[in-house]
Amino acid sequence: MADAKILEKGLKLLEELVQSAEGKTALELADLLGIHKTSVYRYINTFIRMGYIRADGNGAYHVGNKILELGSQMLRRMPLRETAHPFLVKLSAETQKTVHLCILDGAEVIYLDKVESQRSLPIISRIGSRAPAYCTGVGKALLSTLPTDQVLELIKRTPLVKRTENTITDPLKLLEELKFTRERGYAIDDGEHEEGIKCFAAPIKGFGGEVIGAISITGLKRELDVVSIAKRLIDALKEKVTEISWRLGGNFSPK
């Protein structure tokens, strides 16, 4: 039990550093973890020796390259990302839009892959980052495939915070939106997560029809509001989702 507690504290220390862009001092880590500074130094020295933490010379500590290496290896081994990546590249090239690949993790989505168009967008997404599922296209595409009671349970644990003027914060309206999403076969983020940004997203199915992820096409809302542009992008999205699903044994075609 003591060893498990020590391991838990060490992992929490790493998590704190992963989430901190500017790094943390030993004193800050001690306060956050509720342990003595000498214990923090023992963790730090071990992690530095193993390459998981580095010191910046100004008293702050940051995650080391070993963490990045492990994360990269994990992503490379994921069949979904490996299979989907060439299709994301094609989709971005065909549409001249930024394309994302995500999975659902509780009430959040994790960005597994991102292919940017030549025309960069003012968006905050990056590979490995998270975002709320309720107000993102990929999130709503994935939530729409879950049973209603499971969605309600997730909503209970996650406040529906208003991020933009268009964010849906009423649980009943969100359930209604997920119903529409399920019926039409794709989700719409109508500037709900980031102001002025719109996206279309659709779920990917793997072997046995299990939903394993979603991809989205993202662009400026004023452009994607044009009906002819929206139709072309949605058709391209559906085509790539079908191709990826077939490759993963999903035998699936969106509506």
Strand partners, 61: 24, 55
pLDDT at 77: 54
CB-based contacts of 193, cutoff 8 Å, min separation 6: 131, 132, 135, 136, 163, 164, 167
Sequence spans of domains, the chain: 2-69, 78-247
- Cα 124-129-133 angle, rounded to 5 deg: 85
CATH no. of 78-247 = 3.30.450.40
- Would you state the pLDDT for residue 248? 83
pLDDT at residue 79 in the model: 83
Same fold, 2-69 and 78-247: no
Within the chain, residue ranges assigned H as helices are 2-18, 26-33, 37-50, 65-77, 79-95, 137-143, 148-157, 171-184, 221-224, 227-247
Mean pLDDT on 219-248: 94
Please tell me the least confidently modeled range out of 1-10, 116-125, 162-171, 185-194: 116-125
The Cα–Cα gap between 110 and 126 comes to 9
Q: Is 129 helix (H, G, I), strand (E, B) or coil?
A: coil
pLDDT at 167 over 90: yes
Q: What are phi and psi of 115, to 5 degrees?
A: -120, 115
Confidence of residue 201 (pLDDT cuts 50, 70, 90): very high
> Is 1.10.10.10 the CATH classification of the domain at 2-69?
yes
Please tell me the distance from the alpha carbon of residue 48 to that of residue 86, in angstroms, as a whole number: 37
